[in-house]
Chain A
Amino acid sequence: MSAPPREPSAAAPEGAAATPDGSDLTTRSAVAARGSLHAPTARSWRALLEPVLIVAIGAGWMVYVRNTHLDSIAARVLTLDYVTRKTWEHVELTVVATLIVLVIAIPLGVLLSRSFARPATPFVLAVANIGQSAPAIGVVVLLAVIFGIGFWTAIVALVAYGVLPALRNTMVGLQQVDPTLTDAGRGIGMSATRVLTRVELPLATPVILAGIRTTLVLMVGTASIASFISGGGLGDLVTTGVSTQRTPVLLTGCILIALLALLVDWVGGMAARYLAPKGL
């Protein structure tokens, strides 16, 4: 599989991409998002090249695999109808889980970054760090033991796994807002709420959007694990491929998951580029 071109400035090596406090995993795309804001717009056609390439590779693979000699088991799984349904389930898992994560993480992050909650911040960040080291598959199976298997358990597992990094990014994003700017906001007579909505949140948007992008990609990956607990999605093709020892089925599952992740990453990158406030 060839590597689709990323945004030209996404990988600029300069800048504080890696601070020695371990936060670079989540801030990586923050730097990318900021970099791309300054990318010349004349190159925007290159941004469209990536999704077109991804979809073309996916379609090309499906055409290729359907024209190879498939035995009856593989042929029954690899119908266009079934594969489309599984892809759609995967998208559904990803989108529903990401929306719930955002509804929980952003207000909670805002609340925890208010001055009265400041003493709790290092504690919450520490818990978020420890929670992130829990393996996704462990979280998924534990929740299946507790709630039983199925779509909604998969959603709960995805949310449990995704909420910590998103929360962390929201808090870090709000923390890095220059305090002199919030002071200035108070100085010209804004109320605390107005400072939040007019100064802090707009300035934190690039980091929060980068967090959403990371969450989306994380959710695509974790959703593929959800098939272990009957959550549906493209992981089903992987497990079917392994258990029936049909390599074409396995490869189709893996390739489509990988392409979906790259596509979702592109969508997240575009959102980060176009939703960020102008002038930053």
Chain B
Amino acid sequence: MNFWEYLSSRRELLTFETWQHASMVFQCVVAALLIGVLIGLAVYRSETLSKFATSTAGVVFTVPSLALLGLLITPLGLGVAPSVVALTLYSLLPIVRNTIVGLAGVDRTLVDAARGIGMNRGRILLRVELPLAWPVILTGVRVATQLAMGIGAIAAYVSGPGLGEQIFSGLARLGGANSINMTLAGTLGIVILALIFDGCLMLIGRLTTPRGIRA
């Protein structure tokens, strides 16, 4: 069976796993975006807290994904739960860091000007600071998405959903007839998904960057 025959014979399964993978990554990154921006907003005014948040995220980020997934098996068991927690944790790091960097990079004179024309704290945040920091935050989201795509594949080891299943089936049948087809389908599927997501995020970036700071 060559690769194309394999793809067409398993079309339904592959479509389902691709969809699962995409939906898992999407949901985890959205969750990480919400949590990450909230953490960023909570700490960015204090340099000490910012440093603490960034370095804690850095330590989590240094821990290899297989180790973190394994550590999560003990409290959460196998399946969707450890995969989702691990993916969200890894996605948090670039988002938290970029939220802090983006908000800290907003020109203080602009904030002063906003206060001068009578905006209150909440309006300054929503109308001035967050829009100006948004491109940097979105870059963090792009990095997080790419990361989550790859780690999502390893999540199949703890019985997580998605295309990693194909890769691990290929590994289990090493030397067997379909092993290369399975591995290739899983790997290429993830690469293609990653490229599609990245393209979409780039488009979102174009559409949502305020006109005044568009390059």
- A residues contacting B by CB (< 8 A) are 3-6, 10-15, 17-22, 24-25, 28, 130, 132-139, 141-142, 144-146, 149, 217, 220-222, 224-225, 228-229, 235, 238, 241-242, 247, 250-251, 253-255, 257-258, 261-262, 265
Chain A residue nearest in CB terms to B147: A25
A145 and B136 contact, Cβ closer than 8 Å, known pairs A17-B97, A224-B64, A258-B63: no
Inter-chain pairs besides A18-B102, A25-B94, 6 sampled, C-beta below 8 Å: A17-B98, A145-B174, A238-B70, A255-B71, A257-B66, A258-B71
A258 and B164 contact, Cβ closer than 8 Å, known pairs A4-B59, A10-B58, A241-B70: no
Q: Is the interface of B mostly helix, strand, loop or mixed?
A: helix
A17 surroundings in chain B (CB, below 8 A): 97-98, 101
Tell me if B142 and A142 are in contact (CB < 8 A). Answer: no
Chain B residue nearest in CB terms to A263: B62
A15 surroundings in chain B (CB, below 8 A): 101
Of B47, B55, B68, B153, which is within 8 A of A6 by CB?
B55
A132, B194: Cα distance in complex, Å: 10
Tell me if A251 and B66 are in contact (CB < 8 A). Answer: no
B51 surroundings in chain A (CB, below 8 A): 11-13
Nearest-Cβ distance from residue B151 to partner chain A, whole angstroms: 8
Tell me if A141 and B167 are in contact (CB < 8 A). Answer: yes
Tell me if B71 and A10 are in contact (CB < 8 A). Answer: no
Q: Is the interface of A mostly helix, strand, loop or mixed?
A: helix
Tell me if A130 and B191 are in contact (CB < 8 A). Answer: yes
B147 surroundings in chain A (CB, below 8 A): 25
Nearest-Cβ distance from residue B96 to partner chain A, whole angstroms: 11
A24 and B100 contact, Cβ closer than 8 Å, known pairs A133-B195, A138-B190, A145-B179: no
Q: Does B120 contact A (CB under 8 A)?
A: no
Q: Does B56 contact A (CB under 8 A)?
A: yes
A228, B164: Cα distance in complex, Å: 14
| Of B1-9, B30-38, B123-131, B180-188, the one with at least 4 CB within 8 A of chain A | B180-188
Nearest-Cβ distance from residue B155 to partner chain A, whole angstroms: 10
Pairs of residues from A and B, 8 with the lowest C-beta to C-beta distance, nearest first: A138-B187, A221-B64, A135-B153, A133-B194, A11-B54, A254-B70, A257-B67, A254-B67
Nearest-Cβ distance from residue A102 to partner chain B, whole angstroms: 20
Quick one: which of B100-146 are within 8 Å of A by CB? 100-102, 104-105, 135-136, 138-140, 142-143, 146
Nearest-Cβ distance from residue B71 to partner chain A, whole angstroms: 5
A5 surroundings in chain B (CB, below 8 A): 55
A-contact 0/1 string along B47-78, CB 8 Å cutoff: 10011001110110011111110110110000
B194 surroundings in chain A (CB, below 8 A): 133
Tell me if B184 and A142 are in contact (CB < 8 A). Answer: yes
17 contacts between A and B (CB under 8 A): A13-B47, A17-B98, A24-B97, A24-B140, A133-B146, A133-B149, A133-B150, A135-B154, A136-B154, A137-B167, A138-B167, A141-B174, A146-B180, A222-B64, A242-B70, A242-B73, A254-B67
